Amino acid sequence: SQLPMLESCGDATAPILRSIVSGFFSHAARLAPDGLYRLVRGSTTVALHPSSVLAKFGAPPEFIVFHEHVSTKEELVRDCSRVDGRWLLELAPHFYETRNAKGASLSNQGKVGSRKRQKSYGAETKEESSLKMKPVWSGIESLF
């Protein structure tokens, strides 16, 4: 019996990356102003492993998910993928919640990072309606 013919996804990588986020949502990090990454869960600072393609080519991505966290002289992450930070809320709503600028919890149905006034947010200003994503278990740094 013959194996089925496989086809490339071509440029349609989003479904593959979304599936990676679905499995590794707890291994997410965001680029900090100093060029290092901060884990979404907790405040650990990590760097891309020197062997990572993301460390060598192009601008560093704002959000990554990674497979492995290696502790040597430095805290490094490898097997990383560039992802859309909004997917963390969408694909792991049980793990993350959104908050408005005043810290009140909002539904995950709002558009992450939106600067537009949302009817459901009442009389909030544009700045107040900007959504922020925070880990449910702590009130540390906001992601959006």
Tens digit of each residue's pLDDT (9 = 90 or more) over 63-83: 999 999 999 999 999 999 999
Mean pLDDT rounded to a whole number for the chain: 75
Q: Do 98 and 81 sit in the same domain of this protein?
A: no
Based on the fold, state whether residues 103 and 69 are members of the same structural domain: no
Residue 11, classed as helix, strand or coil, is coil
Domain final position from 71, 86, 101: 86
Mark which of 52, 69, 86 sits at the end of a domain: 86
- The answer to whether residue 2 sits within a structural domain is no
Is residue 140 a part of any domain in this protein?
no
Domain identity same for 30 and 76 = yes
Instruction: Classify residue 39: in a domain, yes or no.
Output: yes
pLDDT band (50, 70, 90) for residue 108: very low
Q: Of 66, 86, 106, which one is at a domain's C-terminal end? A: 86
Domain count across the chain? 2
Q: 80 and 22: one domain?
A: yes
Q: Listing from the earlier edge strand, what are the strands of the sheet with 132-135?
A: 105-106, 96-99, 132-135
User: 107: domain range?
Assistant: 93-135
Q: What tokens does 72 get?
A: 């040597």
Same domain for 49 and 104, yes or no, is no
- 143 within domain boundaries: no
Q: Which helix (H) or strand (E) holds 106?
A: strand 105-106
In terms of domains, do 57 and 119 share one?
no
Whole-angstrom distance between the N-terminal and C-terminal Cα of the chain?
51
73 and 27 housed in the same domain: yes
Closest CA to 96 of 28, 11, 31: 28
In a domain, 9, yes or no: no
Question: In this model, does residue 100 exceed pLDDT 80?
Answer: no
Q: Which two tokens stand for residue 128?
A: 């107040």
Find tokens 């502790």 and name the residue.
Answer: 71
Is the residue at 125 inside a domain?
yes
Classify residue 64: in a domain, yes or no. yes
Q: Give the least confident one: 7-11, 79-83, 136-140.
A: 136-140
Share of the chain above pLDDT 90, in %: 50
Is pLDDT at 53 greater than 80 in this prediction? yes
H or E segment to which residue 90 belongs: helix 86-91
Instruction: Reply yes or no on whether the pLDDT at 125 is more than 70.
Output: no
Q: Is the pLDDT of residue 131 over 80?
A: no
